Amino acid sequence: MARDKRNEEKERGIIRELLGWLLYILIIIGLTYVIITFVGQRTRVSGSSMETTLSDGDNLIVDKLTYRFREPKRYDIIVFPYQYEENTYYIKRIIGLPGETVQVIDGYVYIDGNLLDSDIYGAEVMNSPGIAAEPITLGDDEYFVLGDNRNHSSDSRDPSVGVLKRKNLIGRAWVRIYPFDEMGVIKHE
């Protein structure tokens, strides 16, 4: 009789332990979902369009929370989905803000007719203005983006990318987590 009672208690203890582990695993899965959906996600840089700021193979954490509380700023490095290829994301720098008129003249960016002289991120003078050869006036929720390696970048000058809507901005590049020797917060200005 006492043996049956001990076995019963042992079984209950095992069941409690299993339920505790199951609850723990469910909480971890739930927190992971919340973090990936609303706070941040890992992404990998593929290509040279953001050289010398970011390099091919860099692994980043994208901050998805900041733009819930403030508007994107000029020179923010942002991540957005490429509209013609599923699960493909581009990373570029915001140059033109809502309501501004952007144009590329003789390889240089002009905002509202004024040379963007503080544009220190462009590695070189642009060879092709693309669709920005003519003035592009951005709507209330539109952004014009360029890669830092301007002559090797598909960006807002390319019709397949074009201007971006606010809703398409996933977030801003926040931290480089690999390679380890370059790990750290990414400077946007």
Q: Are strands 164-165 and 142-146 parallel, antiparallel or unpaired?
A: antiparallel
Establish whether 154 is a catalytic residue: no
Q: Report how far residue 3's alpha carbon sits from residue 1's, in angstroms, rounded to the nearest whole number.
A: 5
Paired with 137 in beta bridges are: 101
Establish whether 49 is a catalytic residue: yes
Question: Given 64, 92, 153, 156, which residue is catalytic?
Answer: 92
Element (H, E) at 144: strand 142-146
Token output for 76: 């923010």
Q: Report how far residue 2's alpha carbon sits from residue 5's, in angstroms, rounded to the nearest whole number.
A: 5
Residue 127, CA distances (Å) to 90, 104, 130 in order? 21, 10, 9
In degrees and rounded to multiples of 5, residue 183 shows phi and psi of -60, 140
Question: Given 10, 46, 48, 49, which residue is catalytic?
Answer: 49
Q: Report how far residue 76's alpha carbon sits from residue 171's, in angstroms, rounded to the nearest whole number.
A: 10
Burial of 140 (0-12, 13-18, 19+ CB in 10 A): exposed
Looking at the annotation, which residues are catalytic?
Answer: 49, 92
